[in-house]
Chain A
Amino acid sequence: MDTVSLSTFISERLPELWLRTGEHLMLTGCSSGAAMFIGIPLGILVFRKSWLRNPAMGAIGILQTIPSLAMLAFLLALLHRIGALPAIIALTLYALLPIVRNTLTGLEGVSPQVMEAAKGIGMTHGQRLRMVRIPLAVPVIVAGIRTAAVVGVGIATLSAFIGAGGLGQFINRGLALSSTRLILLGAIPAALLALVIDFMIGAFEWGLRPERKLGNKGPVQAMIRLTARIMPILLILAGMFVYFIGPCAQNRMTSPQAKTGKVIIGTKNFTEQLILGELMAQIIEGQTGLTVERRFNFGGTMICHGALANGEIDLYAEYTGTGLTAILKAPVISDPEKALHYVRKAYHERFNARWLQPFGFNNTYAITVRKDDAVQQQWHTISDLEDTAFQLRVGFTAEFAERPDGYPGLSRVYDLQFLEIKDLDPAIMYQAIANREVDLICAFATDGRIAAYDLTPLDDDRGFFPPYQAAPVVREQCLTAHPEVGDALSLLGGILDNTTMQRLNFEVDGKKKSPADVARRFLKAKLKTGDTHRQRPPAK
């Protein structure tokens, strides 16, 4: 379904690929370096102080078991900032285990006979460690660094979730837009990078090995050996070159200058968020003289919210139900007006952020059936199902099946008992109902596939599902500094109903158009301002 050819697709993104590779090398390099500086001395310390061994290795082992995203989210909350720093810290923590463990194993693995000889000829404790034990442990230690660096390249792809860039950016965007090409554009270079780094450190280790007097010893051999030894330096230089001098570096180096007149917009990592992000970005660009920086694709609500609360981004689109339950941990309020009022007040007091006027749609759960069934059976509301529910096969996402505002609550409020309930992945849920494998699903109200698969959402006539109205959430500071941002965003108030949002989502999900294009076309039609990027004088 992708419209452009593969070569165009790649050549268009080559400059960005260059930049992301540089960022990726920087993230991996800094974290592996830091982990070496901490890990090797720590390994030696743990070796010398045996009482430290179990607690230290235990603690480092536990760090390793923390899921990467949880670690990133935790560091974000702790450091109050997004970007490279929390990513590097997280990667460093992950790299510690292989390095410390290999240092310890390497030191312990030195033959006791050799160590006794070192003691017997009169070497002090420090000399034995420095001149005998550590040099003999080097191959094992380097192997640990090698593992850490290769694993680091993999984990670094997740840093894109907190705005640290890297090749994960492509993967992230590809996942949000379900574009295999984009995912591969990040995944293949990342895999190649891992192979290259693995090879380089391996070559370095080989270069360090004592040179045998016997055997091949020509000038070619000597050259290869020298190259292998300076491999790590080459690697670091390559990374620095790409990062600082590469074609895209200029953008990054100069961007801080424009800081004064800049608004930073974030999004979560799914289609609707990307479209809303583009809508807000384009309307601000069109209506004000401000520059917009897009930091899209954060890996989830908490990361987006954290970035907003810490001033790393100025605004993003949030849903009232999510703000209420996930962020404020408040009980569900089913009245949309009351819910909006509650989050508005709480955000103002607690986060110094303002909820602007909602876009108009309500992206809640929607109990959805095939249109032909609805017509035939005269189903309009969920209550209409009561008599036939026991004959229906239903497909729910695993989350919906468990959440209190999902099936458990639904069956209580509407007194529904279904024939059979299947746990389905969201991606195949729509397919399943279209193929008549199930008769009813829990869709998201604004999902483009509702229209595409000819489905009908039923009215929640008893008001069970909490409202999930989307609205721009903006830092007060940003609104005070640039009141025109609020004015511009108010133009988006109420312009998207559920059907429209469904259509826009489908343009991206189904027809594989870019969120930016979809947003531009929509704004053009709606406001006739879509493509006027800062061509008009700023309107106050």
Chain B
Amino acid sequence: MIRLINVSKSFDKGNSHAVRDLSLRVEQGETLVLLGSSGCGKTTTLKMINRLIEPTAGTIEVGGEDITKQDPVELRRQIGYVFQGIGLFPHMTVEQNVELVPRILGWSIKRRKERAHELLQLVGLPPKEFASRFPDELSGGQQQRVGVARALAADPAYLLMDEPFGALDALSRETLQQELLALKEQLKKTIVFVTHDIFEALLLGDRIAILHQGKLEQIGTEREILSAPATPFVRDLFAKPARQLANFQGIV
């Protein structure tokens, strides 16, 4: 369980806030999508959860314990993180990238190699073909699968995903979304997923939290939000794609 209580973050000593007074709860095994346009504070929120960024005010709990009471390195090792820009290590092979967290956790060579191969299989990259490649020998979609495999390597209870499919073409994105959906059912992780794509949010989120200018507009299931948008912003946000969809269907 991840809990944010009145969390604020300002990068300029309080003149403006990237995140303002945010409170939310991610239940065990649930996927929460943070949805919002760029600059709404969703990535900042994600980074505060594993202490890449420290909040200016408020409390964050992971597993029921205040994260400021936990060692940041230990904390991060329990949380898988898939980065926006992928963030694979260019000097390591695919296998070395995936087994990195097990390696720094001190697993045996044999065990972490097995784990790496198992995960590569899971994300659809046959280890025989891909294990010894370097990141720059992979396509964007393949790189992102490695990013997911790396995040899952040490079997963390939590997974933070920062627009993992944002840079991909529409087709690879669709495939990966479907795969993640299947993976999610299989792995039962607690996931916080950041996106600006409404359809992605609707597809992957058990619940959706809509952020606007650092503030939480509404949090709820797809049904709750669509049937009862809490603010004009939320209503507009969903009205526009609905209109587009209607137009598209009209053409077809």
Contacts and interface: CB of A to CB of B under 8 A. Distances in A.
B85 A120 contact: no
Contact of A120 (B76, B88, B133): B76
Interface stretch (A50-58, A100-108, A121-129, A440-448): A121-129
Interface in A199-216: 210, 212-214
B89 A118 contact: yes
B60 to A, nearest CB: 16
Contacts of B169: none
Interface extent on B, as a size class?
20 to 34
Interface string A272-288: 00000000000000000
B83 A122 contact: no
Interface of B is mostly: mixed
A133 to B, nearest CB: 10
Contact of A121 (B47, B81, B137): B81
A66 interface: no
A122 B71 CA distance: 10
A177 B127 CA distance: 70
Contacts of A432: none
A419 interface: no
A120 B132 contact: no
A2 interface: no
A127 B85 CA distance: 21
Contacts of B100: 121, 123, 131
A209 B107 CA distance: 27
Interface residues of A, number: 20
A127 B76 contact: no
A122 B134 contact: no
A210 B134 contact: yes
A164 B93 CA distance: 48
A214 B137 CA distance: 8
A122 B77 CA distance: 5
A124 B105 CA distance: 11
B5 interface: no
A127 B73 CA distance: 11
Contact of B101 (A114, A119, A121, A213): A121
Given A117-B83, A117-B87, A212 B134 contact: yes
Nearest to B91: A135
Interface in A379-423: none
A461 interface: no
B50 A120 contact: yes
Contact of B81 (A113, A120, A124): A120
A531 interface: no
Given A120-B50, A122-B73, A122-B76, A136 B104 contact: no
B90 A114 contact: yes
Contact of A114 (B52, B73, B89): B89
Contacts of A116: 52, 83, 87
A114 B135 CA distance: 12
B132 A119 contact: no
Given A135-B91, A212-B134, A213-B137, A121 B150 contact: yes
Contacts of A210: 91, 93, 134
Contacts of A113: 83, 85, 87
Contact of B104 (A127, A212, A213): A127
B185 interface: no
A213 B87 contact: no
Interface in A177-219: 210, 212-214
Interface string B57-92: 000000000000000011111010101010111110
Contacts of A212: 134, 137
A127 B150 CA distance: 17
Contacts of B101: 121-122
B154 to A, nearest CB: 9
Interface in B96-148: 100-101, 104, 132-134, 137
A124 B137 CA distance: 28
B27 to A, nearest CB: 23
A89 interface: no
Nearest to B81: A120
Contacts of A248: none
A116 B83 CA distance: 9
B48 to A, nearest CB: 12
Nearest to B150: A121
Given A135-B91, A136-B89, A136-B90, 20 more contacts: A113-B83, A114-B90, A117-B81, A117-B83, A117-B87, A118-B89, A120-B52, A122-B73, A122-B101, A123-B104, A131-B100, A132-B91, A210-B93, A210-B134, A212-B134, A212-B137, A213-B133, A213-B137, A214-B133, A214-B137
Interface of A: 113-114, 116-124, 127, 131-132, 135-136, 210, 212-214
28 contacts: A114-B90, A116-B52, A117-B81, A117-B89, A119-B52, A120-B50, A120-B52, A120-B81, A120-B87, A121-B100, A121-B101, A121-B151, A122-B74, A122-B75, A122-B77, A122-B104, A123-B100, A123-B104, A124-B73, A132-B91, A135-B91, A136-B90, A210-B134, A212-B134, A213-B133, A213-B134, A213-B137, A214-B137
